[in-house]
Structure 1
Amino acid sequence: MASLDDKLHTALEHSLGQHLNEEIIRRGWDYYRSGQVLNVKQADEDTLYGAVQGSDVYSVLLDSDHFRYSKCTCPFNDYCKHMAAVYFAYCHSLDGESAAKAAYDRITGVDRKQQRSTVTVSVPKFSGRHVQPSDDASPEEWGLWMDAEYGETWRSCRHSLHALQPVLSALKGTTKHWDKKSQRLHWMSVILFVLDQAEQAIKTVDTFSRYYHEMSFLRMAEPWVEHYYTLALELEPAEVTGHNRSWVDYVAGYAKGRAVKNEQQLFDWTYIYLAICERMAVDADWYEHELDAMRKEELRDSEEPVNRTFVHTAAAMLCFFGRNDEEALAHFGKTDFQRSQKVIYPCVAQRLEEGDWELIGHWMSFLYDHISKVKNARTIGPFMTLCRRADTDQPDEPRWTRYMVELLPHSYADLSDHWLAVQKYEEWADLQLLIGMKPDDLGIQNVREVSKAAPSVMIPLYHQSIEEAIHSRNRQGYRLAVKELKKLERLYKADKHADKWERYIEGIASKYQRLRAFQEELWKGKIVT
């Protein structure tokens, strides 16, 4: 088994410590210690899969690179103890119980330290050295004033962004008397200024500590970013005229100027920029001007490195807003798919809502062509959601199922759930046979549902499980085989094929007549007399 490198181990431990409270981590540790982790596998360089026995058998996926994609099939519907248990079991599989214990100590130690920590910062105050612009001053004048008055605040943010909170409050307070429409745009520019300060602060952090500082900074800035998006959603393009139009252009230009930089950045400036574009795209004049500017940006030569993925992503989204899907796909084709994919999925979801199947076909084909080249949990999960929706809405189109099948084994969990949901029990059972799943691994409720609705499709699964148990050549395996045989007998009778059951059990008893211990278990279980 390949080993996750130290950076990704650190990332996963930190994410578990951030998203799981100490009680859930402790319960995950208890699950691991009691042997309830049935298996754990590494799918690729940053993804773990596992199965945990709780009140049912739950499937767990852990993504160390983007933890938000991690999931568990348990009813908790959040980051849970099963995730922690799988990680501890994985550590054990690499270096034994001591490695798992060390990981547990580190995770809980970090968590306690964070709960106890207090931060003391020096808060920059309004110096009064620079004259505040008038209410009718241009947004550029306001931007220059903010930079002159508070542009060095990032130097106080070496370990925390707490120094920026009073700056944000002070700058918002300068326009409390403005009307709501103007105030909204000013506040958006203020938030971008503060986020820009955070970007400068993170550059001072050494490489070794950057990951932890990024998590801390992002958590602190999350309400600011959410407020920005809320303000953007409140924009009414028809009301953005005159002076306010210049503010919209300023805010969009600020975000675009940050996003176009080809450097590692703390915030997703592409989304920040597109939040303005999505609202303003209904204004034909603004839309055409912005699209033309982005096309010129694509052709512009610059001495500084330019983030071409952003340029083409922004141009693609502007084309999408204008319902020019063909040009949008052409631009997306020039991007780094790993970076632009999260913008593409909502586009396809919107077309699915609209039911334009010709366009949906083009988008889905584009996604499949890119995803099939780089298969991992982050890309396949969202794509499978789209495939399931498409197959539900258009069940007579075979390509949706074909996409899902061709992405196996990565698509197994989603495809299995989908076929259960649409009651394609035969296809569901064939999938379990292909993957090599045992009935006990499939969840009690799922097995009951299929056994009741289509008992015949479960019979081959039990055949496979019974043969595997017998081939273990030990008493425990024989007992398991007898237990499965009793369930199989009920299936044959439910399917009204008692005669086939008699022939099958006679064949099993004859085939393994030399296995004395197995014959004894058959007799004890009253399978044979």
Structure 2
Amino acid sequence: MTTIPERFQEPLQFVAKDLLEQLKAENEDDAKVVQIGLMLFRQGLVYKLKFINDMLHATVQDVTPAKVQLNLDFIHLSECSCPAEGYCRHQLAVFFQLLSQTRSVSAWIDEWRLPLQEKKQAKQLGIQKAKDLLQVAGRQKPNYERWMDAFNESFHAIMESGSPKPYVVTELYKVYMRRWKANAPYQEEWKLLYHLVGYVFTFKRLGILSMEHGHSKEMIQRYYVQLFYEMLDDVYEVVNRLSVRSLPFAFDEFIEKLKEDTSELLTIPFALEYERTHLYRLLWTKFFKKKEWVAAELQKLLALEVQNEPVSIGIIHLHLLQKEDEAALEEIARRDDFVTPYILYWIELLSSQREWKRVGPYVEIYIKKLKGYLSLSTDYYEKASYTRVAIRAIKPYCSVTDRQDLLEKALSETLPFSYNEYEYTLFDNQAFEKWIDLQAYMDHDIEMISKERLKSLEKHHPVLLLPLYHQSVQGHIRQKGRDHYRQAVRKMKKLRSLYKKLKRQSDWELYLEAILEKTKRLRAFQEECKRGKLIDD
């Protein structure tokens, strides 16, 4: 049996922990992979284990032998000769073979299955408690305090039984939501208001639960952040349905109390600052519409001794709702880059209302802050995704007001993530010189440019192609090697044709003379120039 070198023993324990988190017992595909991998290991079908550099190589005898390379430093970079994607049964079999030398494989399996077992137990317990509650509770009559007591009782009984692990929260939440919705009033308007109050209560209470039980932001993101997004969608739907109805005067007392509870979204210090701030803005935009309400809420926030990030955004939003754009923009200007993603909502809100004169300053300040905000992340794909959202949001304003200069500035500020959009915009607007400069900035070889683009430029603006071909030739020569020299010669032949088409043969001869002199020590390149008949033998 191959002994694990000491330097791999600690990485193996990290791998064991990572796989516990990455492979889900409740996921049918993951469960199948683990089950078959365990079977292959227990049948002794893993052999030829050997460590080469930083990799463990092994063979697994399956229907056909599979060659496995297990990377203990970066387990997700492991490879197998089988066609399966991601973690396969052969990789798991080799992992179990290795793990068996340091600890019990059965103990690892039990630990892996534990979340699934606890989820089932939590769900059953939640269902039983929900049944008990239903036996003593009837339909809730319109009384705000009684509603809140009922929500609180259900949440405490179902969601807070024991010390809920992050991975059981979703199962408990489903039971809890069915429970409190079952007591909604019959009348449609009151039912909608009851749901709205319930969603706001649950959003806050779930955030507090995460804080009280030590669930980190990473845990929330991994296990149940989708619950907060579901509630945001539900609130959006409810307020839209309420907004088209004539609300009874009896609602006023409920709305006053809901406003007070909504303010706490900004001050309760649980994670997901953006999500709770977004819920606050959504309610004040679509539901708490009276001018006197907005003015009073603004004064309330301004009077707070501690103005954290969500409170700052709330103040800006209320200024905007009062059409105090100068005050809102002044607040945005003096805030750090954290404010940037929030501006997107205001641009989209004002654009949807077609208030184009008001939109402009928000677009301009947003563009100024975009580059700094993007620099906060190290994830290229996250930056590229956000850039697409940002450009899509400012496009309507730029199009309606013919402010293509602003759109171009935004595209320029967000390079390289906006390259595709910027490239298309410049070419479509026939800004060919800027388009050429963009290719040079991106250090794109001319071979990366579509043939259609090149044909169009060669036909209408051939002179613009010269710097691209020059850059490509220099790039191939710098990389050296026969293949690159041949590529350089092909580009030089194209340059010769372009110079001839432009009736600038003398410039071509000067260029050829200069490049041959510069590369006179590169015998292989000189030979390729002769073979390509750029120079005589």
Q: TM-score, normalised by structure 1?
A: 0.67
| 1:364 corresponds to | 363
Two-structure CA RMSD over aligned residues (Å): 4.4
- Equivalent residues in 2 for 1:36-435 (5 A)? 98=71, 102-105=75-78, 108-109=86-87, 119-120=119-120, 121=122, 122-123=125-126, 124-128=129-133, 132=137, 135-156=140-161, 157-158=164-165, 159-160=167-168, 161-175=170-184, 178-203=186-211, 206=214, 211-236=218-243, 239-265=246-272, 268-280=275-287, 283=289, 286-301=290-305, 306=306, 308-333=308-333, 335=335, 337-338=337-338, 340-351=339-350, 358-371=357-370, 374-376=373-375, 377=383, 383-385=390-392, 392-393=399-400, 398=405, 401-402=408-409, 404-405=411-412, 414-435=421-442
Give the 3 Å change call, closer, same or farther, for CA 137–231 of structure 1 in structure 2. Answer: closer
Is 1:475 aligned to residue 482 of structure 2? yes
Give the 3 Å change call, closer, same or farther, for CA 269–386 of structure 1 in structure 2. Answer: closer
Give the 3 Å change call, closer, same or farther, for CA 472–163 of structure 1 in structure 2. Answer: closer
Question: Contact 1:255/1:273 (CA < 8 Å) preserved in 2?
Answer: yes
CA distance in 1, matches of 2:273, 2:344: 22
Question: Contact 1:280/1:287 (CA < 8 Å) preserved in 2?
Answer: no
Question: Contact 2:211/2:270 (CA < 8 Å) preserved in 1?
Answer: no
Report the alpha carbon displacement of residue 518 of structure 1 after superposing the two structures with TM. Answer: 1.4
Count how many residue pairs are aligned between Structure 1 and Structure 2.
Answer: 434
| 1:454 corresponds to | 461
Give the 3 Å change call, closer, same or farther, for CA 492–280 of structure 1 in structure 2. Answer: farther
For 2:186, what is the secondary structure of its paired residue? coil
CA distance in 1, matches of 2:147, 2:88: 42
Question: Contact 2:411/2:422 (CA < 8 Å) preserved in 1?
Answer: yes
Report the alpha carbon displacement of residue 481 of structure 1 after superposing the two structures with TM. Answer: 0.6
Report the alpha carbon displacement of residue 359 of structure 1 after superposing the two structures with TM. Answer: 3.5
Question: Contact 2:138/2:183 (CA < 8 Å) preserved in 1?
Answer: no
Give the 3 Å change call, closer, same or farther, for CA 215–359 of structure 1 in structure 2. Answer: same
Give the % identical residues.
Answer: 17
Residue 179 of structure 2 aligns to which amino acid in structure 1?
A: A
Report the alpha carbon displacement of residue 510 of structure 1 after superposing the two structures with TM. Answer: 5.6
For 2:160, what is the secondary structure of its paired residue? helix
Report the alpha carbon displacement of residue 299 of structure 1 after superposing the two structures with TM. Answer: 0.7
For 2:224, what is the secondary structure of its paired residue? helix
Larger-Rg structure:
2
CA distance in 1, matches of 2:531, 2:393: 51
Give the 3 Å change call, closer, same or farther, for CA 179–317 of structure 1 in structure 2. Answer: same
Could you report, residue by residue, the CA deviation over 1:388-425 in whole angstroms, capped at 9, with x for unpaired residues?
66555555775654565466667656543432343312
CA distance in 2, matches of 1:219, 1:257: 21
Give the 3 Å change call, closer, same or farther, for CA 518–261 of structure 1 in structure 2. Answer: same
Residue 243 of structure 2 aligns to which amino acid in structure 1?
A: E
Residue 342 of structure 2 aligns to which amino acid in structure 1?
A: V
5+ unaligned residues in a row in structure 1: which ranges? 1-11, 24-96
Give the 3 Å change call, closer, same or farther, for CA 439–320 of structure 1 in structure 2. Answer: same
Residue 149 of structure 2 aligns to which amino acid in structure 1?
A: L
Residue 257 of structure 1 aligns to which amino acid in structure 2?
A: E
Report the alpha carbon displacement of residue 183 of structure 1 after superposing the two structures with TM. Answer: 1.0
5+ unaligned residues in a row in structure 2: which ranges? 1-17, 31-69, 80-84, 93-111, 376-382
Report the alpha carbon displacement of residue 334 of structure 1 after superposing the two structures with TM. Answer: 5.7
For 1:471, what is the secondary structure of its paired residue? helix
Q: Report which structure shows greater RCO (CA 8 Å, sep ≥6).
A: 1
